[in-house]
A and B are shown apart, each in its own frame.
Chain A
Amino acid sequence: MNPDTEPFPAGPPVVELTLTPATPMVRGIRIFSLYSLALLLTGIVSVLFADLLWRTGWSGSRTILLILFVLLFFFAAIGFMHALYGFVLRRIDDVRQPKSIQANEPIDPAANTAIIFPIFNEDVIRVYEGLRITYNSLRSAGQVERFDFFILSDSTDPEKWIEEEKEWQNLMKKTGGMSRIYYRRRVDNEGKKSGNIREFLNAWGRRYRYFIAFDADSVMHGRTIVNLVNLMEANPAIGLIQTVPGIFNAGSLFGRMQQFANRFYAPIFIRGLDYWSEGFANYWGHNAIIRTEAFMKYCALPQLPGRKPFGGYILSHDFVEAALMLRENAQVWLAWQLDGSYEEGPPDMIENAKRDRRWCQGNLQHVMVLGARGMHGISRLHLIQGIFGYLASPLWLAFLLTFYWMWLVTREIGLSQITVHSWMADLDLGASEHAFLVFLLCMGVLLVPRVLAIIDAFFDPVRRRAFGGMAHILVGVLSETAFSTLHAPLQMLWHTRFVFTILRGRTIDWGTQTRTADGTTWTYAIEQQWWQTVIGLASGGVILWLMPNTFVWFLPLFIGMVLAIPLSVLTSRVSWGDAAKEFGLFLTPEETATPPELVALQARLALAEEDAPVRHPPYLVQSVVDPYLNAIHVSMLREAKLNPESAEALARVGASGPDVKWIAEKLLVRGFDALKPGETMSILSDADSMAWMHRQIWLRPEETMAPMWREAIRSYCS
């Protein structure tokens, strides 16, 4: 099937759904009940824990330990309650349906929608193939004429910039999307992603009633998009609808486990989340439809006062934008009922950590806006949970260190662990049984959501089959849980490091990533994770020295650290991921019954990899030598000058400046290597110089120019 010419078969089923928020009283009761139950559970388990500490004699370190325990357990209990509520709601099929949205209901011609792809030095082929598939899917849904696509580049790598322009032209040719798929590159990336979107809205926002934000790896089904527009049309009070993107296309073992966890566990958590936040949900930055006017009016983000990391541009803008929408009474919904929304996950542990590093900084910065006046209480709740998602790690580490300290003191003083009378004695529980009970309760809070997800699948034959059947599900959950147990302490170490480096205003040097086709190399893993192994060995040694009798119980805590490097390398292996797939492990609905869009995408990406041309001259050189690429580039620069914001930015980077002719001459004679980075961007940003250089390259005798030009010219031969 040629997806550019043949329509995709019917997409996700028609979803009957209404988006009417609960009354404030009902919402209040829901929030109160969910969080109160979490608090109640925390209270009960904390009292048991306090009692356990009491039995061995109270001390200052025990007070700290208890405070940390309460905090950590409370947030775990909130997660647990979300899963419990979600599970129950899913079982009683709590989908309200007063208003039906038909998938193929034609969209009002005035409801123009822009689909935007903000990109920053991304894998161009992957982004464009995702766009292409979404475009074709919308065409199959018969509504593509209501949409314009915008590739909004913030790329700073000149090679990526030129590649984006070149492939954009190819994309238009393949899809026939001329005058429907646009490409715009920002000259500077002021304000990062939110600044990129703001510049788009300043130029074209008023043309579109809605815009749908995509991530670089997003794919959405055409009918899902149509559904979203129709939902917005039917509910004028809504400012934003966030879909729940399913992770797909994972190849490595790590990627497949994350993908499985996302698709298998997320629905019950999401259902619980939606229960109390409906109409007051959050925005995750992509795969969401937004009412343009409301966004432009309410969501222009100010710069935060103070220095970095807390001051300056708001990095995780999405949460704040949702909060600003809610502040102005524009509803924000989480459309968990809609399928056909996808994104990709990181392929390995280190990439996962890199993403966490970005999110961590953004979420910590939310401390600044937490107390903003006029913000809805629910928005504060979302922000707190986001912040705690990363603060939990240093707290957990502090908990462990305090615990070790307690044992060290006991050992040094030489006192025996004589237990005193406690409530548990009334229940006829010895100290060990008491400790085991607390341990079981903690494990329960962490593991019961997984069990609930299994039960949920057990009662849902469609879902069961979609994950490969009950046996495969059970093995998958067990294996994923085992891996998570090893991975969690590594996450703790990483997040703790992120929090502290961010607070100190430092960055992390990730070095140059080296990956083979099959995954992370050993060298790179050693470079990035040796410190985790050292900490693991040290903490294992300390535990063995302090508590030899209970050493085995602590194994899961540090074994993951000790094995950090092999774990990272082996789980990054695509061959291991493929083997797991062959065994039917970690299957997801998108693998057991792959939607045609994703089949087409995977086929195209495989083809692109096979057909990747041996590119003799770099894109940078091609932008001067190649008659077509040069014409595209020069035309786009001339277009950019028409936008006053872009024209100003072009002037700032030195385009049309007094030095540019001299730089061009230097480039011709000495090549790109002779230019400073700023000069490369100046020359690439100057339309007249680029056009002039193209002529000169072909007119001048080759011996008067840098050898790279001669080689580039000679690469064209019949």
Chain B
Amino acid sequence: MDRFAQSALRQRLLGAGDAASPGMIAGRPLEEWNAAYAKVERYFYALQLRNKLVLGQLVLRVLERAMLRAPDQPNLSATELAVEEMDRLITTWFADILGDNPETRNMLSTRGRLALLLADMPGKWQDQFLAPGPWPEDFVHAMREAYLRAGPEFQLARMAPRPLDLGAMETLVNLTQSPFLNVSLFWSWTLFILILIFIFVRFHRL
């Protein structure tokens, strides 16, 4: 974009408006841009960007890009355009700072977000976020070395249970698992109880 176009756009962004279509910016109502602003700001806020100046500048940068695309994509709302541009801007920046990487888009985004956190972007490097390079060496190093590990390098082994001879208990368990024995036991005891009842009744003449 040439300097003139940028300046015109910025003027419109800053509220100068379009005389031909009042209440509209880049073909979208002001409310739409307001919603787009809020959504982009929320994402940056979720990234723990707390510096208001940086936050404001970045949101405007994203909206500028969205406004440039707006006339060509009338089917998309201002918010949709803005978040797409935000996503594109961030992913491109991750690719730049993390180095040329054949990883998929999703993996790059995840790795980049993790790197921001582990490199403590919110604490130390807010002004560097989405800034064009070159970046401070420490920041680049921290971003590129940032990995989360569930543990050190694996040294795989396999704990194999040793046989435990449970002795008589094992025999007993095996016996009780036999359906034949279970049925036999049940009927033997039933018979035994019936015999006892019979003897009692026979000799007591109830």
Contacts and interface: CB of A to CB of B under 8 A. Distances in A.
Contacts of B41: 717-718
A371 B160 CA distance: 22
Interface residues of B, number: 58
Contacts of A299: 159
A713 B116 CA distance: 20
Interface stretch (A91-99, A211-219, A620-628): A620-628
Contacts of B113: 627-628, 630-631
Interface in B153-186: 153-170, 173-174, 176-177
A639 B118 contact: no
A569 to B, nearest CB: 43
Interface stretch (A195-203, A449-457, A511-519, A608-616): A195-203
Interface in B140-154: 147-154
Most-contacted residue by chain A among B42, B87, B164 (CB, 10 A): B164
Most-contacted residue by chain B among A203, A367, A370 (CB, 10 A): A203
Contacts of B118: 178
Contacts of B164: 302, 369, 372
A715 B11 CA distance: 31
A701 interface: yes
Contact of B46 (A173, A371, A626, A695): A626
Interface in A689-717: 691-692, 694-695, 698-699, 701, 713-714, 716-717
Contact of A716 (B42, B79, B87, B173): B42
A688 B106 contact: yes
Given A148-B152, A182-B152, A374-B165, A695 B106 contact: yes
Contacts of A311: 173
A632 B43 contact: no
Given A631-B117, A718-B55, A639 B148 contact: yes
B110 interface: yes
B154 A627 contact: no
Contact of A201 (B153, B159, B170): B159
B160 A717 contact: no
B152 A718 contact: no
A17 B133 CA distance: 61
Contacts of B110: 630-631, 634-635, 691
B114 interface: yes
Contacts of A635: 110-111, 114, 147-148
A182 B113 CA distance: 19
B157 A296 contact: yes
A300 B159 contact: yes
A184 interface: yes
B39 A713 contact: yes
A202 B149 contact: no
Nearest to A182: B151
B148 A640 contact: no
Given A630-B113, A636-B150, A301 B106 contact: no
Interface string A357-375: 0000000000111111110
Given A204-B155, A305-B166, A631-B113, A639 B150 contact: yes
Most-contacted residue by chain A among B38, B148, B162 (CB, 10 A): B148
A239 B148 CA distance: 33
B151 A203 contact: yes
A632 B159 CA distance: 30
A208 B120 CA distance: 31
A616 to B, nearest CB: 12
B173 A699 contact: no
B52 interface: yes
A303 B161 CA distance: 9
Contacts of A688: 106
B126 interface: no
A130 interface: no
Contacts of B55: 718
B130 interface: no
A628 B157 contact: no
B47 to A, nearest CB: 5
11 contacts: A183-B150, A202-B157, A205-B155, A302-B164, A304-B166, A310-B173, A368-B173, A374-B165, A628-B47, A695-B109, A717-B45
Q: Which 4 A-B pairs have the closest CB atoms?
A: A631-B113, A371-B167, A302-B161, A300-B159
Interface of A: 148, 150, 169, 173, 178-179, 182-184, 198, 201-207, 296, 298-306, 310-311, 324, 367-374, 625-628, 630-632, 634-636, 638-640, 642-644, 688, 691-692, 694-695, 698-699, 701, 713-714, 716-718
Interface of B: 38-39, 41-43, 45-48, 50, 52, 55, 77, 79-80, 83-84, 86-87, 106-107, 109-111, 113-114, 116-118, 120, 147-170, 173-174, 176-177
Given A148-B152, A698-B87, 15 more contacts: A179-B152, A204-B151, A204-B155, A205-B159, A296-B157, A305-B174, A306-B176, A369-B164, A373-B165, A374-B165, A628-B117, A630-B110, A691-B106, A699-B83, A699-B87
